[in-house]
Amino acid sequence: MGDIFDSALGLEETHYQEGFDEGNKAGQLVGRQDGKALGIQKGFEVGHEIGYYTGCVQIWRQLGDRNKSFISARAEKAINALEDLVRSFPLGSPRDEGLQEKMDAIRGRYKTALALLGLSDGLSLEPQHLQRQRPSRDSSRLQQGLEF
């Protein structure tokens, strides 16, 4: 008689464990899918930001070539430092533990270069604001760089 009740009591535990195991497997699958989607999104954002800084350096160099007074010696030094940081950024090593510190250093150098060039940031690089903002009042400074 005891065996009948033991199997009935064990049945509940068996179903509980089966449900737990199935839920755990499904959760791992969904977790991997969500993690992959988030990784792709964050990777795009980082790549976009690094590309933006690279483009800024290229444009500033072209403006400096056209108008030597556009870039002071201090601004040139800041642009060189920014370029070095961007080039050394480990785009192919997403597991680099110093990734955030390197991004922070690049952002700081970018802001320094902007200030030394007399420009303001016309593009917000926050993930929720990856779009062009209103033109700043400093667009005349860029126009000066375009003059021959």
DSSP string, 41-78: HHHHHHHHHHHHHHHHHHHHHHHHHH-GGGS-HHHHHH
| 2 in a structural domain | no
Q: Is the pLDDT of residue 133 over 80?
A: no
pLDDT tens profile 12-55: 788 888 888 888 888 888 888 888 898 889 889 999 999 999 99
For the entire predicted model, the pTM comes to 0.66
Determine, yes or no, domain membership for 38. no
Whether 108 maps to a domain, the answer reads yes
* 89-118 pLDDT tens trace: 988 877 778 888 999 999 999 999 999 998
125 in a structural domain: yes
With respect to residue 136, please indicate whether it lies within any of the assigned structural domains.
yes
Q: Is residue 19 part of a domain?
A: no
Task: Say which amino acid occupies 121.
Answer: D
What does 78-128 look like in DSSP terms, one character per residue? HHHHHHHHHHT--TT-TT-TTHHHHHHHHHHHHHHHHHHHT----B--SGG
Answer whether residue 113 is part of any domain.
yes
Helix (H, G, I), strand (E, B) or coil at 36: helix
Domain extent for 140: 44-146
Q: 60 lies in a domain?
A: yes
Question: What is the mean pLDDT of the segment spanning 64-74?
Answer: 89
Taking the alpha carbons of 36, 37, 40, 42 in that order, is the dihedral positive or negative?
A: negative
**For range 78-83, the mean pLDDT:** 96
Per the structure, the count of domains in the chain is 1
Burial status of residue 79 (CB atoms within 10 A of its CB: 0-12, 13-18, 19 or more): buried
Confidence at residue 139, expressed as pLDDT on a 0 to 100 scale: 52
